[in-house]
Structure 1
Amino acid sequence: MRVRFVRAWQAERVSRQPLRLAILDATRLLEAAGVPSPRTDAELLAAHVVGVERTRLGLVPLVDAEVIDRYRSLVDQRAKRIPLQHITGVAVMGEIELAVGPGVFVPRPETELLLAWALAVLADVSTRPPVVMDLCTGSGALALAIAHARPDAVVHAVELEPKALAWARRNADTLAGQGDTPIRLHHGDVTDRSLLTELEGGVDLVVSNPPYVPEDAFLDPEVADHDPASALFGGADGLSVITPMISNIARWLRIGGALAIEHDDSNGGQVATLLRERRVFGEVAEHPDLAGKPRFVVARRVATEAEAARRA
């Protein structure tokens, strides 16, 4: 009986394979395919397959052959430059996970900096529930991350594209089911002067990650082939949505209210200039991302239109 048990244990051990070696093979494959972060993506896919945090992969030395086969299948997809988030089905923003896939823009880590700034601004609004707007919400990333961090906030999220709005609604329903404060989703064009007139002068914070890529920009295959063009491109200079959107932001913000707009690294100075030219705004500041590239511009509503006209 003992001999049979040992032989069965040995056979099972032989059928199991080192996960570390599979990750090394995957890293080489992804590097050859031109994936920007091959080791990171190889480890994230492995963590997804075995169901552990990336930092705990070392606790899973051996896995079944079927797990290796599944892992290699996902790595092959990533080598074809399918976005990592489309393969795993999730993206992260702040403390929440979002479902993403074809038809919606995949949130980027750079936007975490804008989120952190927004939450710091909201920390000063403590005597009443803050009113927040997320323009071009896409998957709902910013709106839902803010609602998660500030359950007392009244968060409005606006999206024009029906497919993206469906992803946002799915994520909103999921997080509401987990106990988060529901957000208010609106199907609309953020440049439309008749949009949400009932919120005029009553918003504490506006955030936006709008379409801002210039039309002639070179993009990686993960972006060019998979993110919706309507969520990427903002005309020849990347400002075709941002420019008219600023007028709407001006009418929504209350005096003292703040805004943050993410932009292409080529047009941050132009966005800052657009805000300074609208004299209702002050405290205009440009913020870089972790790579030091210009990434988002912030400002505050400091005057009424009448006061701004007098100053002019």
Structure 2
Amino acid sequence: MVSIIIASHGEFAKGIYQSGSMIFGEQENVQAVTLMPSEGPDDIKAKLEKAIASFDDQEQVLFLVDLWGGTPFNQVNGLFEAHKDKWAIVAGLNLPMLIEAYASRLSMDSAHEIATHIIETAKDGVKVRPEALAPKEEKAAAAATTNNNAGRPGKLEYGLARIDSRLLHGQVATAWSKTVNPTRIIVVSDSVAKDDLRSNMIKQAAPAGVHAHVIPIDQMIKIAKDDKHFGGQKALVLFETPQDALRAIEGGVPIKTLNIGSMAHSVGKVQPNKVLAFDQDDIDTYKKLEQDGVEFDVRKVPSDSKDNMDNILKKAQNMLNEQK
């Protein structure tokens, strides 16, 4: 696996490393290297050498640096010269670039290949509102994406179906989207479909090249039976609650596995782990889904280990029983 060094002036490298871990999960063979105000070129060079020495694979190293021509870049560049046939440097670090680098390591084996690949993602991550302020070519590309692949022949492919009370957020828009590679993200919720503000925010949060939709449950059931509007598409389907998922599946949406991401805590619910909260109706709903043959994939991001849903439900039931 390609090793990664994130280098910056000040604590920026450590902060963006933490943000990347929150969204994509903890990563092996990644080091954050900082140049602090009291330090000079020799200090950061020593830190870089120590970080490289810590890697399992020192042959393929990708450096993500904050500023071209700055001291971190210059010191990286000095080390790079002896390894430029294998190592690569990309300056202008932003979070979309880092997430794309993490995702690319799953399928790409060279620092050069990843460096080439992540540049467009880093550029696409820079957006502006109002949209009228965007360059003309960017607005044209956005319009083309909106109509991309609509109504092609074929069946709608369900790449991932997820229950997440936060719906479309960083972990979904980056980590899961990079793993699933959907052409469409479909939020299925009666309540959100009636809420113009939430619907618009979700549509705007879609990653570059992916169109997001917010539709009622009955509309999703109709699409499952006649998917001419999404024919040939690959969907990442998001439900806010297990009750919405059950209604859709029993209505005919052909989902066999549900990824369980997060369920927000509220009054009357118990929380058997850090991200999932249940009341009795939630527990009964998951049991009904299980009876219908649905399997559960319990994890926040693709790199997490899968939790056992039966054990989580038993713990939640015991906690509810103790409250009575």
Give the alignment's TM-score, normalised by structure 2: 0.36
Identify which of structures 1 and 2 has the higher relative contact order when contacts are C-alpha pairs closer than 8 Å and 6+ apart. 2
